[in-house]
Amino acid sequence: MSKLKISIAGGSGYTGGELLRLLMTHPQVEISQVTSERFKGKPVARLHPNLRKRSELKFSSLSELENCDVLFLCLPHKSSSKKINEFLGIAEKIIDLSGDFRLNNADDYKKWYGEEHPNEEFLGKFVYGIPELHREEMKNAKLISSAGCNATAVILGLYPLYKNKIIDIKKSVAEVKVGSSESGNESTPASHHPERAGCVRSFMPTGHRHTGEIIQELSFGEKIDFNFSATSIDMVRGVLATSHVFLNEDLDEKDIWKIYRKEYSGEPFIRIVKENDGIYRYPEPKLLAGSNYCDIGFEKDRNSNRVVVISAIDNLMKGAAGQAVQAFNIMNGFQETTSLEFTGLHPV
Amino acid sequence: MLKTECPVCGADVELNDGTVKGELLECGECGTELEVINLDPLSLAEAPKEEEDWGE
> Where do the structural domains in chain A lie, given as residue ranges?
4-146+320-331, 150-313
- Which amino acid does the sequence have at B18? G
Report helix, strand or coil for A301: coil
At residue B1, the pLDDT reads: 86
Please, are residues A336 and A328 in contact by the beta-carbon 8 Å criterion? no
Q: What is the Cα–Cα distance from A43 to A249, expressed in whole angstroms? A: 58
Please determine, for residue B50, whether its predicted confidence score (pLDDT) is greater than 70: no
The answer regarding whether domain A4-146+320-331 maps to CATH 3.40.50.720 reads yes
CA-based nearest distance B20→chain A, Å: 24
Give the one of B7, B10, B31 whose C-beta lies nearest to A258's C-beta: B10
At residue B49, the pLDDT reads: 74
Q: Indicate if the alpha-carbon torsion angle A147, A151, A156, A161 is positive or negative.
A: negative
At residue B51, the pLDDT reads: 57
Note the residue count of chain A.
348
Please, are residues A90 and A69 in contact by the beta-carbon 8 Å criterion? no
Adjacent-strand bridge partners of A7: A33, A71
Superfamily of domain A150-313: Dihydrodipicolinate Reductase; domain 2 (3.30.360.10)
Residues of A acting as catalytic residues: 149
Please determine, for residue A296, whether its predicted confidence score (pLDDT) is greater than 90: yes
Please determine, for residue B3, whether its predicted confidence score (pLDDT) is greater than 60: yes
Chain centre to alpha carbon of residue A188: 23
Please, are residues A143 and A101 in contact by the beta-carbon 8 Å criterion? yes
At residue A278, the pLDDT reads: 86
**For testing the chain B interface, which of A251, A254, A265, A299 should be mutated: the one with the most B CBs within 10 Å?**
A254
Distances (CA, A) of A294 to A240, A264, A271: 10, 11, 6
Distances (CA, A) of A27 to A9, A58, A140: 21, 21, 21
Residues 6+ apart with CB under 8 A from A290: A237, A314, A317, A342, A344, A345
Mean pLDDT of A274-295: 95
Give the one of B7, B30, B33 whose C-beta lies nearest to A274's C-beta: B30
Q: What is the Cα–Cα distance from B9 to B44, expressed in whole angstroms? A: 12
Q: Which of A17-26, A89-98, B8-17 is predicted with the least confidence, judged by mean pLDDT?
A: B8-17
At residue A298, the pLDDT reads: 98
* Exposed / middle / buried, residue A254 (Cβ in 10 Å: 0-12, 13-18, 19+): middle
At residue A184, the pLDDT reads: 82
pLDDT in tens, A20-41: 999 999 999 999 999 999 999 9
At residue A187, the pLDDT reads: 84
CA-based nearest distance A308→chain B, Å: 16
Please, are residues A232 and A198 in contact by the beta-carbon 8 Å criterion? no
Q: Angle at the Cα of A87 (from A86 to A90), degrees rounded to 5?
A: 105
B30 vs A278: CB contact, 8 Å cut-off?
A: no
Burial per residue of A28-62, b for 16 or more beta-carbon CB atoms within 10 angstroms, e otherwise: bbebbbbbbeebeeeebbebbeebeeebebbbbeb
pLDDT in tens, B10-28: 999 999 989 999 999 999 9
Give chain A's contact residues with B (Cβ, < 8 Å).
253-255, 257-258, 261, 272, 274-278
Please determine, for residue B56, whether its predicted confidence score (pLDDT) is greater than 70: no
Report helix, strand or coil for A217: helix
At residue B53, the pLDDT reads: 59
A257 vs B10: CB contact, 8 Å cut-off?
A: yes
B31 vs A275: CB contact, 8 Å cut-off?
A: yes
Q: What is the Cα–Cα distance from A9 to A64, expressed in whole angstroms? A: 11
Q: The whole model's pTM is what?
A: 0.94
Please, are residues A184 and A319 in contact by the beta-carbon 8 Å criterion? no
Q: Which long-range contacts (CB under 8 A, 24 or more apart) does A101-110 make?
A: A101/A125, A101/A126, A101/A143, A101/A145, A102/A126, A102/A128, A102/A129, A102/A145, A102/A147, A102/A148, A102/A151, A102/A212, A102/A213, A102/A216, A103/A212, A103/A213, A103/A216, A104/A128, A104/A216, A108/A212, A108/A215, A108/A216, A109/A212
Strands (E), A208-324: 227-233, 239-246, 270-272, 294-300, 306-313
Q: Which has the closest alpha carbon to B6: A339, A172, A244, A258?
A: A258
Mean predicted lDDT score pLDDT of chain A: 96
Adjacent-strand bridge partners of B45: B35
For the segment(s) B2-46, the CATH number from 3.40.50.10540, 3.40.50.970, 3.40.50.720, 2.20.28.160 is 2.20.28.160
Q: What is the Cα–Cα distance from A135 to A292, expressed in whole angstroms? A: 16
B8 vs A257: CB contact, 8 Å cut-off?
A: yes
